[in-house]
Chain A
Amino acid sequence: MAAVQDIDTQDKGGLGRLLVAGLPYLWLLLFFAAPFFIIFKISLSDTAIALPPYTPVFEGFGAIGDFFSQLDFENYIFLTDDPLYVTAYLSSLRIAAISTVLLLLIGYPIALAMARAPGSIRPTLVMMVILPFWTSFLIRVYAWIGILKPDGLLTLLLHGVGLLGPEEQVQIFRTDTAVFIGIVYSYLPFMVLPLYSALEKMDNTLLEAANDLGCPPLKAFWRITFPLSLPGVIAGSMICFIPITGEFVIPDLLGGADTLMIGKTLWTEFFGNRDWPLASAVAVVLLIFLVIPIMIFQNQQKKVA
């Protein structure tokens, strides 16, 4: 028990310690935390045709009163006024929620099968799950375009087996279905790995004990395996749900004009309309939606560490 004490006593000088903790700390404060205050501030500004394209620009502390008086919630009011944004938020949350459930349904059996595989091939299976993740996200989404296009490979395949008439085409590309396929495909490793690590840690004798006590295998799964894998379920769900909500690439490349996702809206406001304050407001509201899931995720990670 004494071995876990920190060694602060002999490193009183602490200069090295200060450097080791301080450098990454300052870096993250400057480049990760500070930007959130800026984004919040700019979301309260007005659009201007200038560079940077917003006013007021912070000009020293003398003008601080002036500066604050020009800030307002106009952009947020606009967000609630235009049904486009409300719909986009709701649609994002809906797509993220459905995708997460789909990922769980597909990922859990895979993770379980991996955990039950012979110990010798498990590392290989894990590597096979990770390998697609090491290849570009963009490439993987792009690969699906070729498959799902109306004149793509899926149509070709279905023609070949005669499930589809010669004049018919698969109408998946540029629909929500294509977005779901793309999301499930891209995020599957993120769901499988936390599930696997939770399931793999599990002591096999627990199930043997359950069987020995008269609990049939299927019931033992629900009474023993599943409850014990819940940390993995939560971790995997959060790791998928949060980024999917703000996903841009997949709805942009696979979704249709009516696929509304807030990541895409933000991108359009920023790059298309050059409305930086509105884009910032969109981001701030999205962040507010995600605060609770992010906190759940952080808590989960802390428990693991």
Chain B
Amino acid sequence: MAKTLGPVKRKFSPWTDPSAVPFIRFENITKRFGNFVAVDNLTLDIYEREFFSLLGPSGCGKTTLMRMLAGFEEPTEGRILLQGKDIRGVPPYRRPTNMMFQSYALFPHMTVEKNVAFGLEQDKLAKGEIAARVEEMLKLVKLEDFAKRKPNQLSGGQRQRVALARSLAKRPQVLLLDEPLGALDKKLREETQFELMDIQTNLGLTFLIVTHDQEEAMTVSDRIAVMDKGVIVQVATPAEIYEAPNSRYVADFIGDINILEGTVMATDSGLGAPGAIRIECDGIQVAVDQECQAATGDKVAFAVRPEKVRISPDQPADTSINAVHGEVWDIGYLGDFSVFIVKLDDGRVVRAAQANVSRLVDRPITFGDMVWLTWPLDAGLVLTR
């Protein structure tokens, strides 16, 4: 998948080190607009050189959080520490952060060059130094040939890169990116994601990105904070978020997942693994290998990703557990994958995804087929929230 890009990424996990000092700390931040609570008593640490994503649907408070760091809004309660210093009251033009705006906010009356130089001019750098830095930045984003153009003479992708160059020109301690790739088409967006990661690693900067695109967050981030209604639901690495979501909300928001509501029948059911848990979901018996806080009788959800569900026309040896039977209702052909939507006998729907390893014509399962869906003990998750 990943292109071969420079040195292999080092292992980077300062958040696991209890002695590490956070670079940015949001401490019990609340922000109200009138009666509307945009951010609700939120605490979050971001470390130096981290590529951090705030992910959530529109209106979840992620943009407000970023704008508070940039200085466009002040928190109603709580404080923001940047390298240990409270930055309340510091105006945006004196903060060591720079922002790449969703609309790019390129100054339409200035050339590309002037746009990139704008921030440097504010620092009263020498002319030669400004020129050198502008050149360096334009080279970084591969726009050397477009220095004299005005923003409206550029394509969307070029504008995005000018915006990036402009916000990087001052070498900010933190770069804030507000939906930076939202306006680009899919292919360009994917390319740019890798470029962004490169730039971040090479310059050794801290990036904070706001996005509603979960794929984008998964691709670029060291860690992701999933937000909902002004609070953080989970902060973790992309893999943890995907494989071990802490709630129905996160599980549902990231990727595709089957969720079955059920009741805990027994914990440590003796299926081999310690801490295993047994759930009944309206007639479906499920067992999961998982350390879990749930106790017998708790209402929980069982969640399993479609690609971890095996689909087969043949009846498995053991149908008493982690197995359901149903009819193929619909097939979504996605190229690399096919998603089978299976309607169980009681009307519930479970999805299974299968990699298309062989050619289309060889696909044995088709509409109306009766199939068995099975999954191993370590495939699913118990969600208590």
Asked whether any CB of A lies within 8 Å of a CB of B in the complex, the reply is yes
Q: Which residues of A contact B (CB under 8 A)?
A: 1-2, 5, 7, 9-12
Mask, B36-67, CB within 8 Å of A = 1, is 00100000000000000000000100011001
Q: Which of A2, A7, A9, A10 sits near B38, CB closer than 8 Å? A: A2
Contact (A2, B63) CB under 8 Å given A10-B91, A10-B92: yes
Contact (A2, B64) CB under 8 Å given A7-B72, A9-B73, A10-B71: yes
Contact A2 B71 (CB under 8 A): no
**Measured CA separation A2–B72 after assembly (Å):** 10
In the complex, which residues of chain A have a beta carbon less than 8 angstroms from the beta carbon of B73?
A: 2, 5, 9
Contact (A9, B74) CB under 8 Å given A2-B38, A2-B64: yes
B33 at the interface (CB under 8 A from A): yes
In the complex, which residues of chain A have a beta carbon less than 8 angstroms from the beta carbon of B93?
A: 10
B288 CB to closest chain A CB (Å) equals: 40
Query: What would 16 A/B residue contacts be, using CB atoms closer than 8 Å?
Result: A1-B59, A2-B33, A2-B63, A2-B64, A2-B67, A2-B73, A5-B33, A7-B72, A9-B72, A9-B73, A9-B74, A10-B71, A10-B72, A10-B92, A11-B91, A12-B89
Name which of A1, A2, A11 has the most chain B CB atoms within 10 A of its CB: A2
Q: Which residue of A lies closest to B67 (CB)?
A: A2
**Measured CA separation A29–B185 after assembly (Å):** 54
Mask, B203-226, CB within 8 Å of A = 1, is 000000000000000000000000
In the complex, which residues of chain A have a beta carbon less than 8 angstroms from the beta carbon of B38?
A: 2
Size of interface on B: residues with Cβ below 8 Å to A? 14
Q: Which residues of B contact A (CB under 8 A)?
A: 33, 38, 59, 63-64, 67, 71-74, 89, 91-93
**Measured CA separation A2–B210 after assembly (Å):** 13
**Measured CA separation A7–B64 after assembly (Å):** 13
**Measured CA separation A11–B71 after assembly (Å):** 11
**Measured CA separation A260–B92 after assembly (Å):** 63
**Measured CA separation A10–B88 after assembly (Å):** 10
In the complex, which residues of chain B have a beta carbon less than 8 angstroms from the beta carbon of A5?
A: 33, 72-73
**Measured CA separation A157–B239 after assembly (Å):** 90
A16 CB to closest chain B CB (Å) equals: 13
A14 CB to closest chain B CB (Å) equals: 13
**Measured CA separation A5–B67 after assembly (Å):** 11
B178 CB to closest chain A CB (Å) equals: 10
In the complex, which residues of chain B have a beta carbon less than 8 angstroms from the beta carbon of A1?
A: 59
**Measured CA separation A2–B102 after assembly (Å):** 12
**Measured CA separation A112–B166 after assembly (Å):** 47
In the complex, which residues of chain B have a beta carbon less than 8 angstroms from the beta carbon of A10?
A: 71-72, 91-93
A274 CB to closest chain B CB (Å) equals: 56
Q: Which residue of B lies closest to A10 (CB)?
A: B91
Q: Which residue of A lies closest to B63 (CB)?
A: A2
**Measured CA separation A41–B33 after assembly (Å):** 45
A100 CB to closest chain B CB (Å) equals: 41
**Measured CA separation A1–B178 after assembly (Å):** 13
Q: Which residue of B lies closest to A13 (CB)?
A: B91
Name which of B59, B64, B91, B93 has the most chain A CB atoms within 10 A of its CB: B91
**Measured CA separation A10–B71 after assembly (Å):** 8
**Measured CA separation A7–B93 after assembly (Å):** 13
**Measured CA separation A5–B72 after assembly (Å):** 9
**Measured CA separation A10–B67 after assembly (Å):** 12
Name which of A1, A5, A10, A11 has the most chain B CB atoms within 10 A of its CB: A10
In the complex, which residues of chain B have a beta carbon less than 8 angstroms from the beta carbon of A2?
A: 33, 38, 63-64, 67, 73
In the complex, which residues of chain B have a beta carbon less than 8 angstroms from the beta carbon of A7?
A: 72
**Measured CA separation A12–B89 after assembly (Å):** 9
**Measured CA separation A286–B381 after assembly (Å):** 79
In the complex, which residues of chain B have a beta carbon less than 8 angstroms from the beta carbon of A9?
A: 72-74
B378 CB to closest chain A CB (Å) equals: 42
B80 CB to closest chain A CB (Å) equals: 13
**Measured CA separation A2–B230 after assembly (Å):** 13
B376 CB to closest chain A CB (Å) equals: 45
B330 CB to closest chain A CB (Å) equals: 33
In the complex, which residues of chain A have a beta carbon less than 8 angstroms from the beta carbon of B67?
A: 2
**Measured CA separation A7–B89 after assembly (Å):** 12
Q: A5-B33, A5-B73, A10-B91 are in contact. List 11 more A-B contacts (CB 8 A).
A: A1-B59, A2-B33, A2-B64, A2-B73, A9-B72, A10-B71, A10-B72, A10-B92, A10-B93, A11-B91, A12-B89
Q: Which residue of A lies closest to B66 (CB)?
A: A2
**Measured CA separation A184–B74 after assembly (Å):** 55
Q: Which residue of B lies closest to A7 (CB)?
A: B72
